[in-house]
Amino acid sequence: MKAIVTRLDSFGDVLLAGPAVRAVAARAEHVTLLCGPRGEPAARLLPGVDDILVWDAPWAGFEPPAVDRGDIDKLVDALAAVEADHALVLTSFHQSPLPTALLLRLAGVRHIAADSEDYPGSLLDVRHRRAPHAHEARAALDLAGAAGFPRVDDGRLRVLPPPDTTHLTGPEPYVVLHPGASVPARAWSPQRCAQAVRELAAAGHRVVVTGGGGERELTALVAGEHGLDLGGRTAAPELAGVLAGARAVVTGNTGPAHLAAAVGTPVVSLFAPVVPAERWRPYGVPYVLLGDQNAPCADSRARTCPVPGHPCLESVTADDVLAAVEKVMTT
User: For the segment 125-145, what is each residue's pLDDT rounded down to a tens digit?
Assistant: 999 999 989 999 999 999 999
Helix (H) or strand (E) holding 248: strand 248-252
Query: Is it true that 2-146 and 166-328 share their CATH fold?
Result: yes
Q: What integer pLDDT is reported at residue 311 of this predicted model? A: 87
Q: What integer pLDDT is reported at residue 312 of this predicted model? A: 84
Query: Does the domain formed by 2-146 have CATH 3.40.50.2000?
Result: yes
Q: What integer pLDDT is reported at residue 47 of this predicted model? A: 98
Backbone angles phi, psi at 265, to 5 degrees: -100, 135
Q: What integer pLDDT is reported at residue 305 of this predicted model? A: 82
Q: At what angle do helices 216-223 and 190-202 cross, to 10 degrees?
A: 40
Q: What integer pLDDT is reported at residue 306 of this predicted model? A: 84
Domain ranges of the chain: 2-146, 166-328
The whole-angstrom separation of Cα 207 and Cα 258 is: 19
- Comparing C-alpha atoms, which of 271, 261, 251, 259 is closest to residue 235? 259
Q: What integer pLDDT is reported at residue 177 of this predicted model? A: 98
List the pLDDT tens digit at each of the 331 positions of the chain: 999 999 999 999 999 999 999 999 999 999 999 999 999 999 999 999 999 999 999 999 888 999 999 999 999 999 999 999 999 999 988 899 999 999 999 999 999 999 999 999 999 999 999 998 999 999 999 999 999 999 999 999 999 999 999 999 999 999 999 999 888 888 899 999 999 999 999 999 999 999 999 999 999 999 999 999 999 999 999 999 999 999 999 999 999 999 999 999 999 999 988 889 999 999 999 999 999 888 888 888 878 888 888 888 989 999 999 999 999 998 7
Q: What integer pLDDT is reported at residue 2 of this predicted model? A: 98
CA 70 → CA 74, 78, 168, 213, distances in Å? 6, 12, 44, 32
Counts of helices then strands in the chain (DSSP H, E): 14, 12
- Comparing C-alpha atoms, which of 243, 231, 261 is closest to residue 16? 261
Q: What integer pLDDT is reported at residue 139 of this predicted model? A: 97
Question: Coil, helix or strand for 319?
Answer: helix
Number of residues written out for the chain: 331
Q: What integer pLDDT is reported at residue 273 of this predicted model? A: 87
Query: Beta strands 207-209 and 111-115: pairing type?
Result: unpaired
Q: What integer pLDDT is reported at residue 140 of this predicted model? A: 97
Q: What angle do CA 255, 59, 155 make, to 5 degrees?
A: 40
On whether the CB atoms of residues 68 and 92 are closer than 8 A, the answer is no
On whether the CB atoms of residues 226 and 201 are closer than 8 A, the answer is yes
Fold category of 166-328 in CATH: Rossmann fold (3.40.50)
